[in-house]
Structure 1
Amino acid sequence: MLTQLSIKNYALIDDLNVSFTKGFTTITGETGAGKSILLGGLSLVLGKRADLSSLKNKDQKCIIEASFEIERYALQSFFNANDLDYEDQSILRREILPSGKSRAFINDTPVTLDILSGLGEQLVDIHSQHQTLRLADNDFQMKVIDALADNSKNLDEYTIRLKTYQSILKELQELLNFQSNADKELDYNSFLFQELENAPLKHGIQTALEAEYEELNNVEAILEQLSSAYQLLNSEQLGVLNSISELQQATQKLEGFGKQFEQLNERVQSIAIEIADIANDLELQQDRVEANPKRLEEVNSQLQLFHNLFKKHQVSTVDELIKIREDLSIKVDASINIEARIKEKELAVSETEAELDNIAAEIREKRNAIIPKLKSLLQEKLSALGMASATFKIAVTPAETFNNNGKDLLTFLFSANKGSTYGELKKVASGGELSRIMLTIKSILAAYEHLPTLMFDEIDTGVSGEISNKMGEIMQEMSTNMQVFSITHLPQVASKGVYQYKVFKEEGSATTTTHMKKLSEEERINELAEMLGGKSLSASALAHAKELLESNNEHQKL
């Protein structure tokens, strides 16, 4: 329920702040007074896109703020899904900056325009002449039928199953697409896999083979340097080991002359041990290293194989080849097992389709059961609105494919007069008839589901006084379960409101400003009298206005 609306620096509005309550509220004012501006401001805070032309003063920002009581709307899940703080009394705010940028907030948390619009749609339903075009939309018509048929749980279950069905169908199609190419690729992938499987691919093998190749390919040079190094250590006259031995003897003799010589001797002894180990290793390496042309050829052959595979697969390491081999193994296995996977997925599609058909049949049954009641209610209410001969042909028949709201085709035809041909609403109904039909549908829906605040924008345009009186009664009746606003030019409708607000303009020396005020009882009588007979406020107009208001007050007491 809309409880407060604040508009600053928007169009002809400087600063407007107005409070509302539950029930039926009417809004009146002369043509051009700014009723559409008020509606435009409300639309902005509900998520409509804006531009700089919205600003009254181009140097200041426009701020529109609306407070709502939302406890009865079950919107906690929306707030949770969008990471917003939920409050029973929530505030929506829209700011339009002089730069042209726009900002939106819900309970002081910045949000995108899509989120603001998503919440706004669930809080206020602005019904204008343009919105009557929705009547011709099959989805809207089906929504009306489903509301009366109490199909919400069935449709929720159907939606969940439909998503599953569509997901499985997509997976099946991907498998079928894969299969169409798999036969062509299987032989080639199998050949590539077998080639890599036969190659001695192991982690680290490339580094080991390259090191072995370097040694085998340089045996003579290695042996020459090993021998030279060994001779330097073991030469009888100039060998390092003999010199080290003499050095050991010298430092051993110094050891007894002090701590510093003892440490020096320990270092020399350590070096002697290390040099002896090196000499031993040099001798072992000379015995180990030998020419092996056969092994050199084998190592070179393996490295050449790797090089060829690198070039073929456009990689540079054995590890990359191992990864390619693993991927090819998966592809080959998938190709071989594709038939079984397709059959498994086809079975899942068939089972889910059967479940969907069952749910769709239940939805269809409930739709068909409620259609007679819907036709009766429509025709009864429209008769009271001056359309006594209006009749409908509504039928639900099975469709070939699954739709978002079931598996049905809807025929929703209308005839306004006896003997007239039935046709689609948008083709055979006039604008005034569409407005009355939409009001009737909304009044029926109000008894079956929690509708948001309804804002009727001159829905009574072009209808007679008696019909407008009945339209006012319908809106008044709807307001017992919800908040209803009506922007109207007709006194018969305006008098039905529990509260009446007037939109008016004031012209200053340089600017024109739109205002809105809640009318007192006396002000309402004067406003209604002016709507009835003009600004002269004749005695008869005042009496008629008072009579309209008193009649409405008596009705409200009942």
Structure 2
Amino acid sequence: MALKRIVLRDFVIVQSLDLDWQTGFTVLTGETGAGKSIMLDALQLVLGARADAQVVREGCPQADICAEFDCPSHLHEWLEESGFAQEQDLLLRRVIDSLGRSRAWINGSPATATQLRHLGDQLIDIHGQHAWQSLTRPDAARAMLDTYGGIETAQLKSLWLDWRQNHQALEQALSAQDNLQRERERLQWQISELDKLSPRAEEWDELNAQHTRLSHAQTLMDSAQSCLQLLEDDDSGAATPLGRAHHLLQDQEHLEPEFQSIADVLGSCVAQLHDARHSLQAYLRRADLDPELLADLDERLSLWMQLARRYKRTPEDLPALLEGWKQELHQLDAAVDVEGLRAKEQAAHLRYQAEARKISQQRTLAAPRLSRAITQSMQSLGMKGGRFEVQLEHADAASPAGTDSITFLVAGHTGATPKPVAKVASGGELSRISLAIAVTTSELGQAGTLIFDEVDSGVGGAVAETVGRLMHSLGDSRQVLAVTHLPQVAAYADQHYRVTKRPKSNTTISSVDPLTGEEREMEMARMLGGEHLSEATMAHAREMLAMARLPAKQAANGAQRPSGTQARSAKASTTARKSSKVRGV
């Protein structure tokens, strides 16, 4: 699980670069400003860091970054769930144009920067030269302790959010209680007014229809009576001649068959006329002027109109308006239930406190272990007798991370009183403490590639050699990439690359060259003595490289170099020679 290859096009001052990476410990060296950190910047971009147009090489339309990794098995499920192809290798690509817009791909499929960042957390762990600054922040110290102790705080954060939401609801209810009460009283009065009417849906139309009938009752009754007389009058009524005509045709049906159908029609008319007469008689029997009912209808319709005008609604809207007010009142009744909200807030607070106490207990157990581990690393970095302590105190205020305030304390030598990291005066001590922490915490997590960006700044001599040995040792189980200015560190590398920049066609470009044999010796000599190489610095460089290949005890005792080199160093030299084709142009 390591970085295998990186390809850059028109990135900052890199015109073109195609570089294969090997396992073990690799260093990048070069003059200040040559572009050593450009490689790390490119890696961070292809792993989802914020992009802007400044990374595009001047005069070019876009920068293109590709990185190829061994695909760890634990990412297969995530790739499948996210819709990306599962392959043996993981290919990431990001393109940033001259306007700062970016596009990204994972195994050939479009991806988001968030998805790239998710992969970055699994693939690479970067330690920068100013990492010590984050150690002065309580949140960073707490995160480091939690990571080291394997402490999960997701549940704690969820409980904190639940408590805060309930607390805010209670505070809002208390602050708005007076307003809510006034609103509640207003709604109660309005509901009581409409309840006097108790309007039903569609009642308005029914009342109007009934009122129309009653207000015209006399006219309707007169019309019905007149119609009945026209039907029943023996001399001039419609029923008598119609009946006679029907009988006449019936009597002649035996002579003229066509009369039968006509007689049937007339018979139907006689029957319908008979039905109409009975219906009119029934209507007249039940019809009533009922002035009292009409007065009641007038009064009720007037109340409907009065309430509709008061609340600026149409009469038809009153039933829905009443129902809406009742729902609002129900909601307000729940909102002003301060005691209920207070009970919920207290219960949520108790749940949070219980989880916070559990997390505090876990941190209390993890703190001494982290202190011992970093203290042990400090001893090998020229800080004999130095101590690192993790101080746990009760925080002034609760937070999503709990109720602990965590401070890192450091004593640089025997007899010194541990002080907060921010108060350690020596820059060299800060660098070594940061490196000790980086070495200790680099064993955590699943990232297969560790990157150290000038974390050895401020150290030198025997301590620098120790740093080199530590990084070489880390390279046994992880891929380690380091940007360094120290020849003592570079000497321990399995692969050595030199970064240079040079002018070309009114611009400056950066290139990366693999170094082996004499070229590596010359770069080591330059790092030791500057651009003007002497036989003394060359001899010193060769000696340093030879000593780096010895086991630690032999090197410390000044033993002679054995006739054969270690297998990994030999393999590294062969690989570097094969990689000479990847030089950036």
TM-score range relative to shorter protein: 0.7 to 0.9
Aligned to 1:528: 524
3-state SS, counterpart of residue 409 of structure 2: strand
3-state SS, counterpart of residue 362 of structure 1: helix
Q: How far apart in 1 are the matches of 2:59 and 2:288?
A: 93
- Relative to structure 1, the CA distance from residue 471 to residue 329 in structure 2 (aligned partners, 3 Å threshold; closer, same or farther) is same
Q: How far apart in 1 are the matches of 2:499 and 2:263?
A: 111
For each residue in 1:142-194, what CA deviation from the matched residue of structure 2 results, as whole angstroms up to 9, or x when unmatched? 2333344x2424x3443444344444444544555565555545544444444
Structure 1 position 327, deviation (Å): 0.7
Kept in 2, the 8 Å contact 1:176–1:342? The answer is no
Q: How far apart in 2 are the matches of 1:269 and 1:525?
A: 130
For each residue in 1:199-236, what CA deviation from the matched residue of structure 2 results, as whole angstroms up to 9, or x when unmatched? 33333322212221222233344445545665666676
Matched, 1:545 2:546: no
Matched, 1:386 2:382: yes
- Relative to structure 1, the CA distance from residue 466 to residue 295 in structure 2 (aligned partners, 3 Å threshold; closer, same or farther) is same
Q: How far apart in 2 are the matches of 1:447 and 1:100?
A: 36
Please, which runs of 5 or more residues in structure 2 have no aligned partner?
A: 552-565, 569-585
Aligned to 2:361: 362
- Relative to structure 1, the CA distance from residue 181 to residue 522 in structure 2 (aligned partners, 3 Å threshold; closer, same or farther) is same
Please, which runs of 5 or more residues in structure 1 have no aligned partner?
A: none
Q: How far apart in 2 are the matches of 1:57 and 1:232?
A: 107
Aligned to 1:454: 450
Aligned to 2:347: 348
Structure 1 position 258, deviation (Å): 8.0
Q: Of the candidates 202, 205, 221, which is equivalent to residue 204 of structure 1?
A: 202
Q: How far apart in 2 are the matches of 1:476 and 1:270?
A: 116
Matched, 1:219 2:217: yes
Kept in 1, the 8 Å contact 2:121–2:447? The answer is no
Structure 2 counterparts to residues 432-451 of structure 1, below 5 A: 432-451=428-447
Q: How far apart in 1 are the matches of 2:33 and 2:345?
A: 64
Q: Which amino acid aligns with 2:101?
A: K
3-state SS, counterpart of residue 16 of structure 1: strand
Q: How far apart in 1 are the matches of 2:6 and 2:190?
A: 72
Q: Of the candidates 418, 424, 428, which is equivalent to residue 424 of structure 2?
A: 428
For each residue in 1:467-491, what CA deviation from the matched residue of structure 2 results, as whole angstroms up to 9, or x when unmatched? 3222222222233333321112222
The root-mean-square deviation of aligned C-alpha atoms, in Å, is 4.0
Q: Which range is displaced more, 1-10 or 125-134? A: 125-134
Aligned to 2:129: 129
Aligned to 1:48: 49
Q: Which range is displaced more, 503-512 or 295-304? A: 503-512
Structure 1 position 257, deviation (Å): 7.1
- Relative to structure 1, the CA distance from residue 246 to residue 378 in structure 2 (aligned partners, 3 Å threshold; closer, same or farther) is same
Structure 1 position 271, deviation (Å): 6.3
Q: How far apart in 2 are the matches of 1:103 and 1:254?
A: 98
3-state SS, counterpart of residue 512 of structure 2: strand
3-state SS, counterpart of residue 94 of structure 1: strand
Q: Which amino acid aligns with 2:107?
A: N
Matched, 1:493 2:499: no
Q: How far apart in 2 are the matches of 1:11 and 1:77?
A: 35
Aligned to 2:39: 38
Structure 1 position 26, deviation (Å): 0.9
For each residue in 1:343-370, what CA deviation from the matched residue of structure 2 results, as whole angstroms up to 9, or x when unmatched? 6425523641452354144234314xx3
Q: Which range is displaced more, 183-192 or 399-408? A: 183-192
For these two proteins, the number of residue pairs brought into alignment is: 550
- Relative to structure 1, the CA distance from residue 351 to residue 256 in structure 2 (aligned partners, 3 Å threshold; closer, same or farther) is farther
Kept in 2, the 8 Å contact 1:34–1:503? The answer is yes
Kept in 1, the 8 Å contact 2:253–2:260? The answer is yes
3-state SS, counterpart of residue 362 of structure 2: helix
Kept in 1, the 8 Å contact 2:128–2:452? The answer is yes
- Relative to structure 1, the CA distance from residue 81 to residue 462 in structure 2 (aligned partners, 3 Å threshold; closer, same or farther) is same
Aligned to 1:334: 334
Q: How far apart in 2 are the matches of 1:465 and 1:424?
A: 27
Q: How far apart in 2 are the matches of 1:356 and 1:520?
A: 56
For each residue in 1:258-304, what CA deviation from the matched residue of structure 2 results, as whole angstroms up to 9, or x when unmatched? 89x98777777666655654554444444444322221222233333
Q: Which amino acid aligns with 2:113?
A: L
Aligned to 1:301: 299
Kept in 1, the 8 Å contact 2:161–2:400? The answer is no
Q: How far apart in 1 are the matches of 2:249 and 2:184?
A: 78
Kept in 1, the 8 Å contact 2:381–2:432? The answer is yes
3-state SS, counterpart of residue 136 of structure 1: coil
Structure 1 position 443, deviation (Å): 0.8
Q: Which amino acid aligns with 1:483?
A: Q
Q: How far apart in 2 are the matches of 1:335 and 1:92?
A: 52
Aligned to 2:323: 323
Structure 1 position 422, deviation (Å): 5.7
3-state SS, counterpart of residue 405 of structure 2: strand
- Relative to structure 1, the CA distance from residue 32 to residue 185 in structure 2 (aligned partners, 3 Å threshold; closer, same or farther) is closer
Q: How far apart in 1 are the matches of 2:355 and 2:59?
A: 56
Q: Percent identity?
A: 29
- Relative to structure 1, the CA distance from residue 52 to residue 352 in structure 2 (aligned partners, 3 Å threshold; closer, same or farther) is closer
Kept in 2, the 8 Å contact 1:255–1:265? The answer is no
Kept in 1, the 8 Å contact 2:122–2:446? The answer is no
Kept in 2, the 8 Å contact 1:193–1:329? The answer is no
Q: Which amino acid aligns with 1:306?
A: W
